[in-house]
Amino acid sequence: MTVTMEWESRLGRRLRVRELFILSTVVKSGSMAKAARHLAMSQPAVSQAMANLEHVLGVRLLDRSPPGIEPTIYAEALLKRSVKVFDELKESVRDIKFLADPSSGELKIGCPDSITATVLPLLIQRFSEQHPNVVVHVYDVPSPALKDRGLRERKYDLLLARVGLPHMDTHTTDDLDTQVLFDDPLIIAAGSDSRWARRRKIELAELVDEPWILASSDVWNYIGVAEAFHAKGLEMPKVRLFAFSLHLLTHFVANGPFLTAYPRSVTRHGSLKMLPVRMPLRPWPVVVATVKNRTIGPVTERFIQCAHQVARDSLNASKVSGTARSRIKTDVG
What is the domain partition of the chain in residue ranges?
2-98, 101-184+284-314, 186-274
| pTM of the full structure | 0.65
Query: Between residues 283 and 4, which one has the greater pLDDT?
Result: 283
Is residue 137 over pLDDT 70?
yes
> Topology of 186-274 in CATH?
D-Maltodextrin-Binding Protein; domain 2 (3.40.190)
- 277 CB-contact burial (10 Å; exposed 0-12 / middle 13-18 / buried 19+): buried
Q: Does the pLDDT value for residue 322 go beyond 50?
A: no
Tell me the average pLDDT of the chain: 82
Does the structure show a pLDDT above 70 at 167? no
Q: Does 1.20.120.1200 match the CATH number of domain 101-184+284-314?
A: no
CATH code for residues 2-98? 1.10.10.10
Q: Is 316 left (phi over 0), alpha (psi -120 to 50) or beta?
A: left
pLDDT digit string, tens, across residues 62-72: 988 777 888 89
The yes-or-no answer to whether 2-98 and 186-274 have a common fold is no
CA gap 198, 157 in Å, rounded: 43
Q: φ, ψ for residue 107 (rounded to 5)? A: -140, 130
**Cα angle value 16/19/23 (rounded, 5°):** 145
Helix (H, G, I), strand (E, B) or coil at 123: helix
